[in-house]
Structure 1
């Protein structure tokens, strides 16, 4: 992993507000995040916490008439929010590419998967159809799709879920991007296939030197693949640190709650699965204080009055919480 001071991907005070409904919905609220070359960063949290919205901003996939995006989004020094339509078309897939959560919806149902990969390669590079086909075949072999030549001719609905996800990874890698966005790539798969896909992603990342932003609601999956983890809640990053730090010394009550709700931990102890009481807040009417306070057993009156600023616990380890010392007492229970 390159630990150079200047990150390859830089987000600063990112805000994304959707304006299509009766009330504006602030899905992302002041997010700052770095991704260095060769690094894997995982964004974790419950559905609706702003993970995928943050990721999609890097490709400017939000509808411009129904969304407002402010802040700084830079990739390799380029201002992504200032790219023209022509520049954006060249940037997508070539500089930054994405593995979507449901490949059956992301892949075009009326074209063979191989044809879609060939089209993507020829869109970005001046190569013949035969050369693009050869590269597509090599990609299928790389992601370990059986009978790759035959599968290139298959339509998305003719593939299994795991095979479609591998094809989606091949498509995302077709034009040799430097940044790979993985939006919950294992959610719709069974446990065995999930592990295979996670191992494949980590192997490809190491072999190709990719920078990866990995979105998941599964903290166990994040620990398996990520160098650093950022925990999101109600559109904000509430804790960030190395995977090792967040597992061993979590300092935000939401991170602790996510750790305690891991299924394998409950099954190993023969106990019932723990859940997080309550529900996330309405993003169209966020409370004035800490957004997690209503679900937090450690909340005090101060937590309800103002949003906490980040507290530096160690170099690179931050938490937005007024009671980090009290949270420390809960950490051994969560880790155990």
Structure 2
């Protein structure tokens, strides 16, 4: 059995993670050599276009991929425990108690035939030896904590009887029911309107600080990452291509893909009539990844070296790393400025190119 890590060690340690799906005609290399550390009480945002490997990385932390059709290599440690080596019984104890998840669509994640309160009570009693009365008291407190109005009445409601925003709050309450150390959030605001997005993001940030949670937040919205994250990792083609503190990465992005994502964002400083920058082409086919940099075919700075060899990870500073041969070449188009503090930002106006 693994012993808990010292307090100074990262709570989540992912090392050289590779995830391959083998159910189709060709194996799909969804995640390739991802290495990531998340400290205790830290919020890490994974950003990138759809198909970049963000959600696959996140779900690996709970081993949610079909075992027979998935090959996983590397190390995934949470509080010193090797998640990839857990037995089925250990995995059931680990899910919800040590690591929990807020899914993108709560209407699909919540059970439609049971009241919300009953689902939370069941989760609490599955992991902790408490009475039903105590579990019901905690469920009520959780609904109050996530700001659900009339919480006692809402505990008796079914998921379809709640609005999208209220369902997401109930999903957050369920994820926090057993007091996990790590909270995974898979694009939790995608299906919500802009006003509700802001409310959910502010709620998540408040709860994270109050409970001291480590959070991994998946989003395609760089603005949302600025709102909630301490660090940002940019993913493309199943790899992390840039990582750093949110301030340093936004101030001085070095990878052409990160710069393009920033440039494709609508923002208040745009000149009237100015066109948004776009990223030409499409993300790579993960079943037929090129030998070199996956972004080379879409990159305005790509060289023959980029197309033939995989770039190594290089340190830009002590708090900033990039995977690119051309990161020191001056960018051809200035990236759009993002606010340096959340108070300057209005969530919900960032859209990665399709």
TM score, norm. by length of structure 1: 0.96
CA RMSD of the aligned region, Å?
1.5
Match of 1:41 in 2: 44
Partner of 1:53: 56
Instruction: State the SS of the aligned residue for 2:65.
Output: coil
Listed one character per residue, the Cα deviations across residues 44-86 of structure 1 (whole Å, up to 9, x for unaligned) are: 0000000000010010011110000000010000111111111
The answer to whether structure 1 residue 124 and structure 2 residue 127 are counterparts is yes
Could you say which structure has the higher helix fraction? Answer: 1
TM-fit CA distance, 1:272: 2.9
Asked whether the 8 Å contact 2:46–2:217 carries over to 1, the reply is yes
CA distance in 2, matches of 1:210, 1:42: 14
Pairs within 5 Å for 1:236-315 = 236-265=239-268, 269-315=272-318
1:335 equivalent among 337, 341, 350: 337
Shift of 1:211: 0.2
TM-score (norm 2): 0.91
Cα distance in structure 2, aligned partners of 1:284 and 1:24: 6
Tell me if structure 2 keeps the 8 A contact 1:109–1:155: yes
Structure 1 residue ranges, 4+ long, deviating more than 3 angstroms after superposition: 265-270, 327-330
**Partner of residue 150 from structure 1, selected from 150, 153, 156:** 153
User: Distance between the aligned counterparts of 2:152 and 2:238, measured in 1?
Assistant: 43
Question: Which of residues 201, 222, 236 is equivalent to 2:225?
Answer: 222
Contact 2:114 2:158 in 1 (8 A): yes
Establish whether residue 211 from structure 1 lines up as the match of residue 217 from structure 2: no
Gaps of 5+ in 1: none
Q: How many pairs were matched up?
A: 333
Measure the CA separation in 1 of the matches of 2:162 and 2:330.
46
